[in-house]
Amino acid sequence: MSTFTLENLKEIMQSCADQDSNPVDLSRNFLDVPFKELDFDSLAVLEIATRVQQEIGVRISDDAVAEMTTPQAVLDYVNRESVA
């Protein structure tokens, strides 16, 4: 498995939302801000999950996706998977 970093996640978030007109401020501490407040709807979170899945090469379970309510939760999941 290749390493998955914060930068990878930022890149994925940018491309899923493609938010150049109203960019998410990913310079501040956004990791614990719920996706909803970052203007990522349920569909966008599913798209993020797919892209993460592609990066780490492991299918993410539905329960795990349901828990991905913040960017930090995504990183936590990936880190857990990498250790396992």
Partner 1 sequence: MSGRRARIPVVTGMGVVAPGGLGIGPFWDLMSNGRTATRRVTLFDPEGFRCQVAAECDFDPVALGLTPQEVRRMDRVAQMAVVASREALADSGLVLDDVPPDRVAVAIGNAVGNTIMMEQEYAVVSDGGRKWLTDWEYAVPYSYNYMVPSSLAAEIAVGVGAEGPVSVVSTGCTSGLDAVGYAARLIEEGSADVVVCGAADAPISPITMACFDALRATTPNNSDPGHACRPFDRQRDGIVLGEGAAVFVMEEREHARRRMAAERAVLLGYAGRANAYHMTGLKEDGRELSVAIDTALADAGVDVSQVDYINAHGSGTRQNDRHETAAVKRSFRHRAREVPMSSVKSMIGHSLGAIGAIEVAASILAIEHDLVPPTANLEHADPECDLDYVPNTARETPVDVVLSVGSGFGGFQTAVVLGAGEAVPA
Partner 2 sequence: MSRVVVTGLGVLAPNGNGTDDYWSNTLAGKSGIAPISLYDASRYPCTLAGEVPGFDAEVRVPGKLRAQTDHMTHLALAATEAALADAQADPAAFGEYEMGVVTANSSGGTVFGQRELEKLWSKGPEHVGAYMAVAWFYAATTGQISIRHKMRGPCGVLVAEQAGGLDAIGHAVRQVRREGLRLIVTGGTDASLSPAGLTAQLTTGLLSHRSDPHRAYLPFDRAAAGYVPGQGGAVLLLEDYGSAVKRGAPRLYGEIAGYAAGFDPGSRHVLPRVIVKALTAAGAGPDDVDVVFADALGDFAADRQEARALRELFGPRGVPVTAPKTMTGRLYAGGGPLDVASALLAIRDQVIPPTVNVADPVPGDELDLVLGEPRPAPVRTALVVARGFGGFCTAIVVRALP
Tell me how far, at minimum, the Cβ of 30 lies from partner 2, in Å.
Answer: 16
Beta carbons of 79 and 71 less than 8 angstroms apart = no
Closer residue to partner 2, CB minimum distance, 56 or 75: 56
**Integer angstrom CA distances of residue 47 from 16, 29, 84:** 7, 22, 24
Does residue 39 bind partner 1 (CB under 8 A)?
A: no
Tell me how far, at minimum, the Cβ of 40 lies from partner 2, in Å.
Answer: 8
Q: Give the E-state strand segments of 1-84 in sequence order.
A: none
Residues contributing to the site for partner 1 (CB under 8 A): 41-43, 46-47, 50, 59, 61-62, 65
